[in-house]
Structure 1
Amino acid sequence: MNSMLEYKGYHASIEYDAEDNIFVGEVFGIADSLNFHGTSIDELKATFTQCIDNYLELCKKIGKSPDKEFKGSFNVRIPPALHKKAALAAANQKITLNQYVTQAIENSFNKAKNFKETIIYIPYATQHMNWESGIDNRIQTLYNDDSIFTTEEKITYVGN
């Protein structure tokens, strides 16, 4: 589910204001404050595009470069010990810390996208009924109770 609006490379998050019975939107990722609202989805979309168009027109009129949502640069605060680990790992790979962090972020998306989990249910025991004698015999099922891991798949055997 995507609850964001997008127009001309700008994105906005939407919330519902129950007190005023309106949708309120805020453009994010830029230093300037751009907000809009509407009582319906269509009105909200229209005021969002109008907000962006007005912003771009005003910037042009006053000779200001409009803020861009993602500049490719951001500050991250991490514990000093983690900073040290990352810097040493980058140095060992003969890459910059920026390259190391970029790879780590890219890998986090790849893992989430490609991860597949398969769960195979095998009961601990199955019941076998001898219909002629009326006797229940328990037959134990043998299986590997260790999980098998690969880079893209985790298989777990589960019993009852």
Structure 2
Amino acid sequence: MNNVIEIAGEKAVVTFDPEIRMLRGEFVELNGGADFYAESVHDLLEEGRKSLAVFLEMCTEKGIEPHRRFSGKFNVRLDRHDHAAAVIAAAAAGKSLNEWIVGVIKEAAA
């Protein structure tokens, strides 16, 4: 994944904000707003370290769990043609729709 960086073991998604002409990082597995901005990759990494440290310290002070909990379940809504195409692709691969979707997600997220 080209737009994901790791800082102190935490993954952050990086985007470019054209309005302010800066890079933005966001720790998406955390329970709150731990985002950070900079004009260069080097500075973004440094700002990310600072933002993460402040966020984790605040969580400790307030007794808050810093990481989001994921249930492993989510709903997907797509049009009926895409749904049918997914069922056909899963069957052609000899998998249930759930197994096929899990495989597609794992491949795309790797």
Normalising by the smaller structure, the TM-score range is: 0.5 to 0.7
When normalised by structure 1's length, the TM-score is 0.45
Q: Which amino acid aligns with 1:73?
A: G
User: For structure 1, which runs of at least 5 residues remain unmatched after alignment?
Assistant: 87-96, 113-160
The 5-angstrom pairing of residues 67-106 of structure 1 reads 67-68=67-68, 71-78=70-77, 101=98, 103-106=99-102
User: For structure 2, which runs of at least 5 residues remain unmatched after alignment?
Assistant: 88-95
Higher helix share: 2
Give the match's secondary structure for 2:13. strand
CA distance in 1 between partners of 2:44 and 2:60 (Å): 24
CA gap 1:77/1:18 in 2 versus in 1, 3 angstroms: closer
CA distance in 2 between partners of 1:111 and 1:47 (Å): 30
- Contact 2:25 2:37 (C-alpha < 8 Å) held by counterparts: yes
When normalised by structure 2's length, the TM-score is 0.62
CA distance in 2 between partners of 1:30 and 1:104 (Å): 28
Q: Which amino acid aligns with 2:100?
A: A
Structure 1 residue runs of 4+, over 6 Å off? 109-112
Give the match's secondary structure for 2:25. strand
Q: Of the two, which has the highest radius of gyration?
A: 1
CA distance in 2 between partners of 1:31 and 1:111 (Å): 26
Corresponding position of 1:136: none
Identity %: 20
CA gap 1:18/1:63 in 2 versus in 1, 3 angstroms: same
- Contact 2:7 2:45 (C-alpha < 8 Å) held by counterparts: no
Q: Which amino acid aligns with 1:104?
A: W
CA gap 1:58/1:78 in 2 versus in 1, 3 angstroms: same
CA distance in 2 between partners of 1:34 and 1:7 (Å): 12
CA gap 1:16/1:77 in 2 versus in 1, 3 angstroms: closer
Give the match's secondary structure for 2:12. strand
The 5-angstrom pairing of residues 1-160 of structure 1 reads 2-68=2-68, 71-78=70-77, 101=98, 103-108=99-104
CA distance in 1 between partners of 2:29 and 2:52 (Å): 13
Q: Which amino acid aligns with 1:42?
A: H
The number of residues matched between the two structures is 94
